[in-house]
């Protein structure tokens, strides 16, 4: 069902987004008054073009839905991608959200807990998340996480002399 | 002439020199293959190590990294659909489908071979045509760069087969994100909303990592069986192409090498552009464009020949005028000056031995790069044996660390996160990612050169058209747009009549 309106949703979102950027572009300072090519020009051209194109997509989607063309396209698409179809959409989107959340959490705790521990936790979590229930090998993940974190840490700090986030612990 | 070459080769005819080139090449391949680390980062890291060495030994290391890193990117691009460096983005288009079919080894062999060939061709230009070509490059000023940027943007946006509109939207979105930060010329803050972390804008690395690496992980997460772990046969032998195939690719190879070298010669444009532009040109001038993107070797040939050719090309302005062609060569400039040598027109006469020594290093590095990649092929393919749910998070951590190492701030990792969400949205709503990348890369170029150009022409945009080079490029671009729009309309009409008036989208 959502398939039909994908472009419509995308179009509306982009329209909104570019509208916001267009309106905020007027708060960009102008350093010269009489020139056409100031710092506002580029963002404004881009956002205007984006708005026009997104309106096009929205209208195109509405017209196609009226004419019933979308059903055929969706059927074509599904035939093409029948091998890649997901089993249970709800379950998979939940996993996706978890992947994003774990990445965000990782970045947030890096500074406070430090590179070593955060990375070990993150690697373990991510490896765990990406494997389906039956096949998880927790000990293997733990060992690999620890070893790779240590290797990366020493590679970057000792060999390349770069700085990694240090927290109160490691 | 010949004795200069002899001097050049003799300066590296020692085991230490060859060993240094080898180490540099291996390091370069490693940096190139790891998403999140680039060649310029590698060169910057090795620079302090070269302080104590003679210039020529330092060059062994640096040039080894330089050449290795441009080629290393193809490994992860082909095997994991994650370009190791921006220079291998186009290699993912055909390399990854080939890998999925079990031809990953062959794809890597082809990529390596054409990296070698592309590099060699550009080195020939460097050796024999440098001064000539350099003076041509001097006639390129802001309007010309603007014209090239517009041309590339349009060309690559029309690459995406299904919907040109979506391609344009993607490209515009990429452009829009480059406006966040300080504006060029007058440095006013745009769209920073008070966040000082945004003042510098986003850099290409987090964008690439978020768009490609994280999206790959998400794809694996959404697949119900985790990552599909089919054991695919990867055995391959020899060069990777048959003689017949090689002959078929000759035109592709020369054109892509030309594109790559040309872009390298223009200071400021690098391998990031050349691989995409060469791919587009190759696809548009090919007799079977529909095979591109599904695992045709043409795509890999175009992309890898061009990106290595750019490295040779970028050395032309460096050595003949002292103007670096890209980030890596900029750091090389620093290396030169550290040793008391100022590259420029006089370099050939005052320090001819250095130049020819460098040429010798380049030739050896190119050869070693090929050998290392081919011998290491077995090892690279073993990487595939590692379960993806283990490998991908490690790659991502490496990439995050690389992004962090750029500016030593966690914000760059947040940038990865932001762009991973954008990348996910783009994929879910079926927008092509490539135009976004190219829009992002071209954005600054477009704007700076538009404004600079307008300043040089005293506010007259018309002058962009009257200058010979920029005018011809711009007019060609406009013709291209018209041609492709008309073609699109005509194709729709044909399809309509064949379907008995049943209007169907292509």
Question: Over B31-55, what HEC string results?
Answer: HHHCCCCCHHHHHHHHHHHHCCCCH
Which residue is associated with the tokens 């994991």?
B80
Cβ distance B405 to A36 less than 8 Å, yes or no, reads no
Which residues on A lie below 8 Å from B172 (Cβ)?
46, 49-50, 53
Using the predicted structure, report yes or no on whether residue B125 has a pLDDT greater than 90: no
The pairs formed by A19-25 with CB atoms below 8 angstroms and a separation of 24 or more are: A19/A47, A19/A51, A21/A47, A21/B176, A21/B191, A22/A47, A22/A48, A22/A51, A24/B191, A25/B190
What is the maximum alpha-carbon separation in chain B? 77
Using the beta-carbon criterion (under 8 Å), do B191 and A126 form an inter-chain contact? Answer: no
Are residues B29 and B373 in contact, defined by beta-carbon separation less than 8 angstroms?
yes
Q: Quick check: helix, strand or coil at residue B323?
A: coil
Q: How far apart are CA A1 and CA A69, in angstroms?
A: 14
Where residue B55 falls among pLDDT bands split at 50, 70, 90?
Answer: confident
| pLDDT, tens only, B290-320 | 788 888 888 999 999 999 999 888 888 888 8
B371-384, pLDDT tens digit by residue? 998 888 878 777 77
CA distance B166 to B159: 11
Q: Between residues 90 and 149 of chain A, which touch chain B (CB distance below 8 Å)?
A: 91-93, 95-96, 98-100, 103-104, 107, 110-111, 119, 122-123, 126-127, 129-132, 135, 140-141, 144, 148-149
Contacts with A72 from chain B: Cβ below 8 Å: 504
Instruction: Look at residue A18 and tell me whether its pLDDT is greater than 50.
Output: yes
Distance to chain B for A64, nearest Cα, Å: 10
Q: What is the pLDDT of residues B431-443, one digit of tens each?
A: 888 888 888 888 8
Q: Residue B210 pLDDT > 80, yes or no?
A: yes
Which of B387, B405, B430 lies nearest to residue A162, judging by beta carbons? B405
- Span B54-83, average pLDDT: 90
B145: left (phi over 0), alpha (psi -120 to 50) or beta: alpha
DSSP-assigned letters across all residues of B419-460 = HHHHHHHHHHTT--SHHHHHHHHHHHHHHHHHHHHHHHTTT-
Alpha helices by DSSP H, listed for B101-242, are 104-138, 142-157, 164-178, 204-208, 215-222
**CB-based contacts of B432: which residues, under 8 Å, 6+ apart?**
B159, B160, B166, B167, B170, B426
Question: A27 touching B, CB under 8 A?
Answer: no
Report the pLDDT averaged over residues B344-363. 82
User: Is residue B65 very low, low, confident or very high in pLDDT (cuts 50, 70, 90)?
Assistant: very high
CB contact under 8 A, A111 and B410: yes
| The pLDDT of residue A83 is above 70 | no
CA distance B368 to A91: 49
Q: What is chain A's mean pLDDT, rounded?
A: 79
| Nearest residue, CB atoms, B413 vs list A69, A72, A107 | A107
DSSP codes of every residue in A97-134 = HHHHHHHHHHHHHHHHH-HHHHHHHHHHHHHHHHS-GG
Q: Which residue of A has its CA nearest to B185?
A: A39
Q: Above 50 in pLDDT, residue B262?
A: yes
For residues B352 and A50, which has the higher predicted lDDT (pLDDT)?
Answer: A50
Distances (CA, A) of A157 to A111, A120, B401: 16, 17, 11
**Mean pLDDT value across residues B135-163:** 80
Residue B3 corresponds to which tokens in the numbers above?
Answer: 């004795």
Q: Do residues A165 and B401 make contact, with C-beta atoms less than 8 angstroms apart?
A: no
pLDDT at A84: 45
**Residue A54: closest CA among chain B residues belongs to which residue?**
B169
Q: What is the ipTM of this complex?
A: 0.86
> CB B381: neighbour CB atoms within 10 A?
18
């Amino acid at each position: 069902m959502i398939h039909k309106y994908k472009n419509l949703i995308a179009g509306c979102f982009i329209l909104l987004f570019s509208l916001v950027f267009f309106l905020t572009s007027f708060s960009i300072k102008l350093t010269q008054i009489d020139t056409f090519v100031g710092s506002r020009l580029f963002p404004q051209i881009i956002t205007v073009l984006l708005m026009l194109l997104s309106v096009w997509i929205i209208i195109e989607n509405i017209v196609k839905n009226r004419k019933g063309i979308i059903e055929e396209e969706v059927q074509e698409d599904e035939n093409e991608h029948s091998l890649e179809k997901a089993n249970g959409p709800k379950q998979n989107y939940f996993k996706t959200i978890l992947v994003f959340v774990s990445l965000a959490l990782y970045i947030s705790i890096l500074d406070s807990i430090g590179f070593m521990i955060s990375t070990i936790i993150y690697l373990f979590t991510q490896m765990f998340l990406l494997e389906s229930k039956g096949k998880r090998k927790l000990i293997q993940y733990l060992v690999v996480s620890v070893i790779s974190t240590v290797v990366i840490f020493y590679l970057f700090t000792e060999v390349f002399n770069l700085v990694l986030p240090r927290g109160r612990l490691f | 002439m010949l004795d200069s070459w002899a001097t050049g080769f003799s300066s590296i005819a020692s085991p230490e020199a060859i060993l240094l080139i080898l180490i540099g090449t291996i390091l370069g391949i490693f940096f190139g293959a790891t998403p999140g680390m680039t060649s310029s980062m590698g060169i910057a890291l090795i620079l302090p190590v070269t302080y104590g060495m003679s210039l020529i030994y330092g060059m062994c290391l640096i040039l080894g990294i330089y050449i290795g890193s441009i080629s290393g990117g193809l490994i992860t691009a082909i095997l994991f659909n994650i370009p190791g460096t921006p220079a291998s983005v186009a290699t993912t288009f055909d390399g990854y489908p080939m890998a999925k079919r079990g031809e990953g080894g062959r794809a890597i062999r082809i990529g390596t071979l054409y990296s070698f060939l592309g590099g060699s061709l550009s080195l020939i230009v460097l050796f024999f045509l440098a001064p000539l070509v350099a003076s041509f490059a001097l006639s390129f000023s802001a309007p010309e760069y603007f014209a090239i940027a517009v041309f590339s943007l349009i060309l690559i946006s029309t690459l995406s087969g299904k919907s040109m509109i979506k391609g344009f939207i993607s490209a515009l979105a990429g452009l829009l994100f480059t406006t966040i930060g300080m504006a060029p010329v007058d440095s006013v803050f745009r769209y920073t909303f008070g966040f000082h972390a945004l003042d510098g804008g986003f850099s290409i690395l987090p964008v690439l990592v978020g768009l490609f690496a994280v999206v790959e992980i998400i794809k694996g997460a959404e697949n119900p069986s985790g990552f599909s772990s089919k054991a695919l046969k990867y055995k391959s032998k020899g060069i990777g192409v048959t003689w017949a195939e090689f002959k078929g690719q000759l035109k592709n190879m020369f054109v892509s090498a030309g594109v790559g070298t040309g872009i390298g010669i223009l200071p400021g444009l690098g391998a990031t552009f050349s691989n995409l532009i060469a791919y587009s040109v190759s696809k548009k001038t090919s007799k079977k464009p529909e095979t591109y993107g599904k695992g045709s070797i043409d795509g890999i040939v175009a992309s890898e020949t061009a990106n290595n050719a750019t490295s040779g090309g970028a050395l032309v302005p460096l050595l003949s005028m002292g103007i670096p062609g890209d980030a890596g060569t900029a750091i090389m400039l620093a290396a030169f000056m550290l040793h008391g040598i100022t590259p420029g027109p006089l370099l050939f006469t005052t320090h001819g031995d250095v130049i020819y020594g460098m040429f010798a290093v380049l030739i050896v590095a190119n050869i070693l790069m090929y050998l290392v990649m081919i011998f290491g092929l077995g090892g690279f393919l073993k990487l595939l044996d590692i379960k993806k749910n283990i490998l991908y998070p490690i790659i991502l951590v490496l990439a995050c660390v690389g992004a962090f190492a750029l500016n030593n701030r966690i914000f760059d990792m947040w940038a990865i996160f932001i762009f991973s969400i954008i990348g996910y949205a783009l994929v879910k709503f079926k927008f092509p990612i490539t135009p976004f990348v190219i829009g992002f890369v071209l954005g600054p170029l477009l704007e700076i050169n538009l404004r600079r150009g307008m300043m040089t022409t005293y506010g007259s945009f018309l002058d962009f058209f009257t200058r010979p080079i920029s005018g011809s490029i711009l007019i060609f671009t406009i013709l291209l747009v018209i041609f492709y729009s008309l073609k699109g309309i005509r194709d729709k009409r044909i399809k309509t009549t064949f379907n008995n008036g049943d209007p169907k989208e292509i």
